[in-house]
Amino acid sequence: MKQSRKTSLRYCPLLYLFLIVGTHSALAQTDIDGIMMSKKNLCIGPMYGYSSWKNYWEGTLKRENLNLGTVSSQMYSVMGAYGVTDKLNILFSAAYVRTKASAGTLHGMKGFQDASLWAKYVPLEKKIGKGDLSIIGLAGVSAPLSNYVADYLPLSIGLRSKTLSLRAMADYQVGKLFATLSGTYVFRDNIKIDRDAYYTTEMHNTNKVEMPDALSFNFRAGYRHNDIIAEAFLDNWTTLGGFDITRNNMPFPSNKMNATRLGANVKYHTPNLEWLQLVVNGSHVIAGRNVGQSTSINAGLFIVFSVAKKQVPDSSPKKVQQ
């Protein structure tokens, strides 16, 4: 039996906040790590995020809006992960979001946004060449935590759509270096808005809005060893359908929102305080459609402990149960 370097890391496989959207700041909570929480270990902690943009894409046209200035959002969330086994983790998060525009007269919004719950399972771990390959499958759901307003973009705190995400992921590590590639299909449920009619590319005499599904890809690579994970990532969110914001119009929840982001992420704990972990990441949208060109930073502090009876947190590498 071989010891897996990945499971032994005891890092929180966190739900990252993907600011997909935006001419506003709906945040999709999504897990894109190739690491697992050890059995009967729980990590949990607060995370703070700040994101802002001044330019956005109106369809494919990049512009600024002097009547919005800079649109910013702050996110306060709680996230966690639990190792049901070394190969099955449950991840969860819940967020509170506050938005603001620096210019113009529009009122910012705040409120409890969405909660998400993911199951993450490793069906296959194998040594290939000099490295370890893991194949990971994830399924996640998200739903709004409150009756917040979706149809007030770009200042809505989210899109209110219930989602189901299915993700396949491959993680390969050679020595201290790794790469992770994942692809996700996001089913999005229709939403209700406060208006009783709206125009997309045609009139809809209803308060219900069809939300197109979305596809996302994530590639991340970097250094992963003992006390530190440092990685760069490139990801893409593509809405499968939807329509472009028309000239000088307001955005709408069912717009075709696409974004490609570049970012970096660090997870760290000091060798003698393994139960306390720091996570910092930042990203910038490098291409988009009907979204804001946001720059985001997130920081979180997590505690890790074993919930097994009469056990102190296990600081030595665990063996993978085969």
Partner 1 sequence: MKKLLYYTLPLLVIATVLVPFACSKTEKGRTDDLPALQPDKSDLEAGSWKPILLTSANEFSISAPIATNTPEYIAQMNEIKSWQASLTDEEKNLVKYWSAGAVLRWNEILRELVAKHNLPPYQNEDGTYPVPNANNPLAYPQFPFANPPYAARAYAYVSAAQYDALVAAYYYKKLYNRPAPYKVDATINVLVPQTDLPAYPSEDAVVAGAAVEMMKLLFPGDQEYIQQKAEEHKRARIIAGANVRSDIEAGEALGKAVAQKFVTRARGDRAGTAGGTPTDWAKLETDCIARGETPWYSLEVPKRPPMLPLFGKVKAFLFDSLTAISLRPGPPPLTASKKMQDETDEIYSLTQNDTRDHYRIVHYWADGAGTSTPSGHWDAIAAEDFIKKNYSEVRWARNMALLNMSLMDAAIVCWDAKYFYFNPRPCQLNPKIKTLTGVPNFPAYISGHSTFSGAAATILSYIIPDQSATYDALAREASLSRMYAGIHYRADCEVGLETGKKVGDYAVDRGKADGAGN
Kindly state whether residue 206 participates in binding partner 1, applying the rule CB under 8 A: yes
Kindly state whether residue 123 participates in binding partner 1, applying the rule CB under 8 A: no
Kindly state whether residue 272 participates in binding partner 1, applying the rule CB under 8 A: no
Kindly state whether residue 194 participates in binding partner 1, applying the rule CB under 8 A: yes
* DSSP code, position 210: P
Could you say which residues in the range 164-183 bind partner 1, by CB under 8 A? Answer: 164
State which residue, 60 or 147, has the beta carbon closest to partner 1: 147
State which residue, 82 or 172, has the beta carbon closest to partner 1: 82
Kindly state whether residue 149 participates in binding partner 1, applying the rule CB under 8 A: yes
**Separation between Cα atoms, residue 43 and residue 267, nearest integer Å:** 13
CB of 285 to partner 1, least distance (A): 23
Kindly state whether residue 31 participates in binding partner 1, applying the rule CB under 8 A: no
Kindly state whether residue 152 participates in binding partner 1, applying the rule CB under 8 A: yes
Which candidate, 128, 119, 110, 124, places its Cα nearest to that of 72?
110
| The binder of partner 1 chosen from 2, 62, 126, 208 (CB under 8 A) | 208
Query: Pairing relation of β-strands 177-188 and 203-204?
Result: unpaired
Kindly state whether residue 141 participates in binding partner 1, applying the rule CB under 8 A: yes
| The binder of partner 1 chosen from 230, 250, 273, 301 (CB under 8 A) | 250
Which candidate, 151, 162, 157, places its Cα nearest to that of 200?
151
**Separation between Cα atoms, residue 45 and residue 231, nearest integer Å:** 21
Per-position x/- string for 73-112, each x denoting binding to partner 1 as judged by CB under 8 A, each - no binding: -----------xx--x-x------------xxxxxx----
CB of 269 to partner 1, least distance (A): 27
Which candidate, 158, 278, 163, 288, places its Cα nearest to that of 235?
288
**Separation between Cα atoms, residue 85 and residue 41, nearest integer Å:** 9
- Residue 172 contacts by C-beta under 8 Å, 6 or more apart in sequence? 128, 131, 132, 133, 134, 178, 179, 180
Angle at alpha carbon of residue 262, lines to 216 and 54, rounded to 5°? 100
Kindly state whether residue 308 participates in binding partner 1, applying the rule CB under 8 A: no
- Residue 271 contacts by C-beta under 8 Å, 6 or more apart in sequence? 226, 227
- Residue 102 contacts by C-beta under 8 Å, 6 or more apart in sequence? 68, 69, 70, 71, 72
State which residue, 50 or 198, has the beta carbon closest to partner 1: 198
Kindly state whether residue 54 participates in binding partner 1, applying the rule CB under 8 A: no
Strand partners, 43: 81, 304
Kindly state whether residue 305 participates in binding partner 1, applying the rule CB under 8 A: no
Kindly state whether residue 195 participates in binding partner 1, applying the rule CB under 8 A: yes
Kindly state whether residue 232 participates in binding partner 1, applying the rule CB under 8 A: no
State which residue, 248 or 272, has the beta carbon closest to partner 1: 248
**Separation between Cα atoms, residue 139 and residue 162, nearest integer Å:** 14
List interacting residues with partner 1 (CB under 8 A). Answer: 66-67, 84-85, 88, 90, 103-108, 117, 119, 139-141, 147-149, 151-152, 162, 164, 187, 189-190, 193-199, 202-206, 208-211, 246-250
